[in-house]
Amino acid sequence: MEMIRQFAVPHNGVVQVPVPEEFNDQEVEVQVILTAKPQEAKAKPTKKGGLSHLVGKYKHYTAEQNQEIENELRDLRDSWERNIS
């Protein structure tokens, strides 16, 4: 099975899709799927700053597991070379 995937913008309710010569005189299936709402397509994505989205992500860990993670992170930070003048 050969497939063509193409994105197009309809004009006056019509979409034209060029197909290879070997598709001529054969039945093809056409699906039209709206990929984004017009307002969403023009909106620029905003970069969300900060780490607030991580709050509560690790609440399923036990206190001992949290302490172990904290210790590992502290050890990693302490191992960094610090040539700060």
User: What digits encode the pLDDT tens for the residues 15-44?
Assistant: 888 888 888 999 999 888 888 766 655 556
Residue type, 63: A
Question: Considering the domain boundaries, does residue 85 fall inside one?
Answer: no
Q: What is the pLDDT of residues 56-82, one digit of tens each?
A: 777 788 888 888 988 998 888 888 877
pLDDT the model gives residue 85: 63
**Domains of the chain: total:** 1
pLDDT the model gives residue 63: 86
Question: Considering the domain boundaries, does residue 42 fall inside one?
Answer: no
Question: Considering the domain boundaries, does residue 25 fall inside one?
Answer: no
**CA 79/CA 81 separation, integer angstroms:** 6
**CA 9/CA 34 separation, integer angstroms:** 10
> What separation in angstroms does the CA of 12 have from each of 2, 15, 37, 53?
29, 9, 17, 43
Question: Considering the domain boundaries, does residue 30 fall inside one?
Answer: no
Overall average pLDDT of the 43-47 stretch: 62
pLDDT the model gives residue 71: 92
Question: Considering the domain boundaries, does residue 73 fall inside one?
Answer: yes
Residue type, 40: E
Question: Considering the domain boundaries, does residue 1 fall inside one?
Answer: no
Question: Considering the domain boundaries, does residue 43 fall inside one?
Answer: no
> Which range of residues forms the domain containing residue 68?
53-79
Check pLDDT > 80 for residue 53: no
Question: Considering the domain boundaries, does residue 66 fall inside one?
Answer: yes
